[in-house]
Amino acid sequence: MFLIALAGPVLACGLPGGVDADATATIAALNTSIAQSSAPTPTAEVINVVETEATATPPGPDPVATAQAEATALSIGATETAVARATLDTDSAAATASASAPFLAELPTYGVDPAQGELAWIHPPVTISASGYMSYTYANQNITTVAQDFVLASDITWNTRFGTAGCGYVLRSDGDQEGDYDQYIALVIRGGSGELFFTIMQDGEVVRNEITDININRLDPSFQWQNDTTNRFAVVARGNTFSFYSNGSHVGDVTPSIAFERGFVAFVGLNESGTTTCQYNDAFLWLIE
């Protein structure tokens, strides 16, 4: 699989009024956890994807894994991307324009010109739930869409038991079926009243000392860390720089030391213990020209 499962020590990163939320300790623990992990084979015991009827996973072979394998075998280029874009609602030009309008209006918030690019997809509402110790789950019905420079945004409603569990995105993953994947991970956790962690995985291994921590709560006064609250989390990728936005507020930029030019994106929920549930609504992917 192209996503990771956190494995290793339970973090002491806490919630407001709870235990220690020291960022340095959290980064060290996350680095250890991810570094010790491998590319697991998902099982029913640790993965439970709850989707809307329109996106429910049919019985039989895992369609996401199949799509990954097929997409990885293809050269990454204009043809595949154009085919993936065709999954956007094509019932009528008017319906598409109406559905697209709110997202086009949102782009200037992120410093993106709506005239420079096109909408790759609008994702229907989806809820993903991970249960069990250090488990993960993921979703994206447009998993074969290849993104280079882009905007990815979604309303995220979360419910987690511990501060180190959270919701976020996998970015520019190459989908390597042998586990030697290259990808970025942007994860928002409830610990520390809201922390964003960005890290790099190359050839299936965490690049050490490459976890970047951003305290969202200090930069976004409207951020809600409590269970069953909703925040809109957006990432803008331009070249080798990723800019992050929380509820429309710019909370930071990350320029990784290793550049992956393009790849797949997906929603991800990571669990420490108990159950973590991430609801994604009004999600869209915009490809910047």
The lowest-confidence range among 113-117, 142-146, 265-269 is: 142-146
H or E, element range at 80: helix 78-85
The lowest-confidence range among 67-71, 107-111, 145-149 is: 67-71
DSSP designation for 116: S
23-288: which CATH architecture?
Sandwich (2.60)
What is the full DSSP assignment across 146-163?
A: -BSSEEEEEEEEEE-SST
pLDDT tens digit string along 71-95? Answer: 444 444 444 555 455 555 555 556 6
Instruction: Map out the domains of the chain as residue ranges.
Output: 23-288
88-99: b (≥16 Cβ within 10 Å) or e: beeeeeeeeeee
pLDDT tier for residue 157 given thresholds of 50, 70 and 90: very high
Q: What is the C-alpha to C-alpha distance for residues 252 and 220, in angstroms, rounded to an integer?
A: 11
Of 253 and 31, the one with more pLDDT: 253
Q: What is the C-alpha to C-alpha distance for residues 34 and 23, in angstroms, rounded to an integer?
A: 16
- With pLDDT > 70 as the criterion, what percentage of the chain qualifies? 65
How crowded is residue 245: how many other Cβ atoms within 10 Å of its Cβ?
23
- What is the mean predicted confidence (pLDDT) over 181-204? 87
pLDDT tier for residue 261 given thresholds of 50, 70 and 90: very high
Q: Which amino acid is at 93?
A: A
pLDDT tier for residue 10 given thresholds of 50, 70 and 90: very low
